[in-house]
C-alpha cells in the first residue's frame, strides 16, 4: 500500500539525499553535481544511494512529482479563473525560494524545465480550450506554447533575482502582457480575467479589442489564500 509510512531509516536516508541534492544544485548547478557529491554531502554509503535511486535524475524526478501535484491542486482550486495557477505558483515560489531557485533557476537542469513545461502546458490548455471562440485566428497549441513560454521565462528569471518583486506584481505583469493577445487571437469568450462580473459577453472581432469596461479589466482581485493547500509541497 502506498500510504504506508516507510521505515524510519528509509525516511532519514531519502531526506538526506534530497537535501544534499538541492544544496549542491544551488552551489554548482545540477549538471556539475555528481553522485559522489551527493553521497558525501548526505553522508551515506554509495550502495545505499543506489538502493533508493537509480540516478541523479531519479532523485530530481521524485522532487518534481511533488511540484506537479502542488500545481494541479492549485489550478483546480482556482475557481476557473483564467491562468489561476499563476498567482498561486508565484506565491509558493516566493516562500520556497531556495528550493525553487535550485530547480527553476539558471543552475537548474533541462529536465526540470521540460517536466514543468509539460505540466503547465496541460494546465493552460485546459484553461483555454473551453473558452476558445469560433473566430480564433491562431491554433490553440501555438497559443498555449507561447503562454507557457512567457510564463516560464518570467518565473525562471524571477527566482534568480536578488531583489525580487512581490509575487502579486509578477502575476499582474504576466496577465497584462499575455492576456490581451490571447483574448484577441483565440477569440476568447468570457475570459473571467478579473472580478466575478463576467457576464458571458462574447467578443466578436478578433483583431481590435474594443474595451468593454470592468468585466475584462486585468487585476489581481479574487485572490484568496487557500489554507489547505498552502502547505509547501516539500
Partner DNA sequence: CGTGATACTGGACAGTGTGTTCATGAATGG
Partner DNA sequence: CCATTCATGAACACACTGTCCAGTATCACG
Which stretch of DSSP H or E encloses residue 86?
helix 85-95
Q: What is the DSSP letter of 91?
A: H
Closest to its own copies by CB, 133 or 180: 180
The span from the CA of 146 to the CA of 106, in Å, is 20
Residue 202 DSSP SS3: strand
Closest to its own copies by CB, 180 or 229: 180
Bin 66: left if φ > 0, else alpha if -120 < ψ < 50, else beta.
alpha
According to CB under 8 A, which one of 31, 65, 98, 129 is a site residue for its own copies? Answer: 31
Block residue for cell numbers 509547501 = 232
Q: Which residues bind DNA (CB under 7 A)?
A: 6-10, 12-13, 34-36, 43-48, 50-52, 54-56
List the interface residues with its own copies, window 188-227 (CB under 8 A).
207-211, 217-218
Q: How far is the CB of 40 from DNA (least distance, A)?
A: 10
| Contact of residue 143 among its own copies, DNA, none (CB under 5-8 Å per partner type) | its own copies
List the interface residues with its own copies, window 52-71 (CB under 8 A).
none
CA distances from 91 to 74, 78, 94 (A): 11, 14, 5
C-alpha cell at 82: 483564467
According to CB under 8 A, which one of 48, 135, 146, 189 is a site residue for its own copies? Answer: 146
Q: What is the DSSP letter of 184?
A: H
The span from the CA of 3 to the CA of 1, in Å, is 5
Q: How far is the CB of 47 from its own copies (least distance, A)?
A: 26
Asked if 147 touches its own copies (CB under 8 A), the answer is: yes
Q: How far is the CB of 18 from DNA (least distance, A)?
A: 13
| Contact of residue 210 among DNA, its own copies, none (CB under 5-8 Å per partner type) | its own copies
Closest to DNA by CB, 36 or 142: 36
Closest to its own copies by CB, 52 or 149: 149
Q: How far is the CB of 100 from its own copies (least distance, A)?
A: 17
- Which residues have a Cβ under 8 Å from the Cβ of 84 and sit 6 or more positions away? 74, 75, 77, 78, 127
Instruction: Give the chain's count of helices (H) and strands (E).
Output: 10, 0
- Interface residues with its own copies (CB under 8 A) are 31, 109-110, 137-139, 141-143, 145-154, 157, 165, 170, 173-174, 176-182, 184-185, 207-211, 217-218
Amino acid at each position: 500500500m502506498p500510504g504506508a509510512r516507510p521505515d524510519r531509516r528509509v525516511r532519514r536516508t531519502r531526506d538526506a539525499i534530497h537535501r544534499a541534492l538541492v544544496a549542491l544544485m544551488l552551489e554548482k548547478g545540477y549538471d556539475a553535481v555528481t553522485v559522489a557529491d551527493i553521497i558525501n554531502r548526505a553522508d551515506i554509503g554509495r550502495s545505499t544511494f543506489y538502493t533508493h535511486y537509480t540516478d541523479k535524475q531519479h532523485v530530481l524526478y521524485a522532487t518534481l512529482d511533488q511540484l506537479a501535484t502542488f500545481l494541479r491542486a492549485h489550478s483546480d482550486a482556482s475557481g476557473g479563473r483564467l491562468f489561476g495557477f499563476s498567482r498561486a505558483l508565484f506565491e509558493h515560489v516566493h516562500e520556497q525560494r531556495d528550493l525553487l531557485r535550485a530547480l527553476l533557476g539558471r543552475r537548474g537542469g533541462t529536465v526540470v524545465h521540460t517536466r514543468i513545461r509539460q505540466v503547465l502546458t496541460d494546465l493552460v490548455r485546459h484553461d483555454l480550450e473551453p473558452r476558445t471562440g469560433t473566430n480564433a485566428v491562431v491554433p490553440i497549441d501555438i497559443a498555449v506554447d507561447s503562454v507557457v513560454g512567457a510564463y516560464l521565462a518570467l518565473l525562471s528569471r524571477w527566482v534568480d533575482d536578488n531583489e525580487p518583486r512581490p509575487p502579486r506584481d509578477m502575476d499582474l505583469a504576466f496577465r497584462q502582457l499575455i492576456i490581451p493577445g490571447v483574448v484577441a487571437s483565440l477569440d476568447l469568450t468570457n475570459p473571467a480575467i478579473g472580478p466575478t462580473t463576467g457576464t458571458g459577453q462574447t467578443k466578436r472581432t478578433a483583431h481590435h479589442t474594443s474595451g468593454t469596461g470592468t468585466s475584462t479589466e486585468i487585476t489581481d482581485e479574487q485572490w484568496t489564500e487557500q489554507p489547505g493547500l498552502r502547505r509547501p509541497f516539500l
